Chains A and B, each alone.
Chain A
Amino acid sequence: EYNIYDHDEL
């Protein structure tokens, strides 16, 4: 499940 605080984009 995606976590909004991960910030996996550049």
Chain B
Amino acid sequence: MNIFRLLGDMCHLVAIIILFLKIWRSKSCAGISGKSQVLFALVFTTRYLDLFTSFISVYNTVMKVVFLVLAYATVYLIYLRFRSTYNSESDSFRVEFLLVPVAGLSFLENYAFAPLEILWTFSIYLESVAILPQLFMITKTGEAESITTHYLFFLGLYRALYLANWVWRYHTEGFFDQIAVVSGVVQTIFYCDFFYLYFTKVLRGSGKMTLP
């Protein structure tokens, strides 16, 4: 554990909590892509199956359980509890265009051709593109509430901190997880355009982020 990894995990947790509380308090999931949240729930489910097979640390186990619970609770709020506020017509990204290539790639490019390893690889590849329905939705409607942009900012910051964590681990432990690093770089690139808009529009102005 290093400071980049810990801060990264905390940003990830903050992002998920921001989103959950936003929906819970406003009793609305307007502007939120339910598809992205289902994909993240699928990411955590397929990655954390090792909860049943290996123990790493109390921290690791607790964080995994918290992420899983919050991911499913968010999906529950969007699709069941506050379903009437869900903008399904704007959330029109075709997730099969992500799931099929990601599933195919995880069979082709993995560390070991074993069920748990393939599912872990699938979760890594899927996480790198899971935010696309949300970014697509913002591009389509041309705006996002500032709280939604704070959620995306912390999610992007988590990714950027994980890159720093890998640089650190490479130099201190000789750690290099090729699949995670390549996917992580791809994922972080998706946030660059958003980061630019966040700093130039959201933090300087107030209220919603509108696209030019």
Q: Is this pair of chains taken from one and the same complex?
A: yes
Q: Which residues of A contact B (CB under 8 A)?
A: 2, 4-10
**Which range holds the interface residue count of chain B?**
20 to 34
Closest A residue to B66 by beta carbon equals A10
Say yes or no: is B174 at the interface (Cβ < 8 Å to chain A): yes
- On B, residues with C-beta under 8 Å from A are 5, 9, 12, 47, 50, 54, 56, 60, 63-64, 67, 111-112, 117, 120, 162, 165, 173-175, 177, 180
Could you tell me the distance between the alpha carbons of A4 and B176 in the complex, rounded to whole angstroms?
8
The answer for the CA separation of A9 and B168 in the assembled complex, in Å, is 14
The reply to whether B177 and A10 form a contact with Cβ atoms under 8 Å apart is no
Q: How far, in whole Å, are A1 and B88 apart by their CA atoms in the complex?
A: 48
Residues in B whose Cβ lies below 8 Å from that of A6:
54, 56
Within the complex, the shortest CB–CB distance from B195 to chain A, in Å, comes to 22
Bound CA–CA A4/B47 (angstroms)? 15
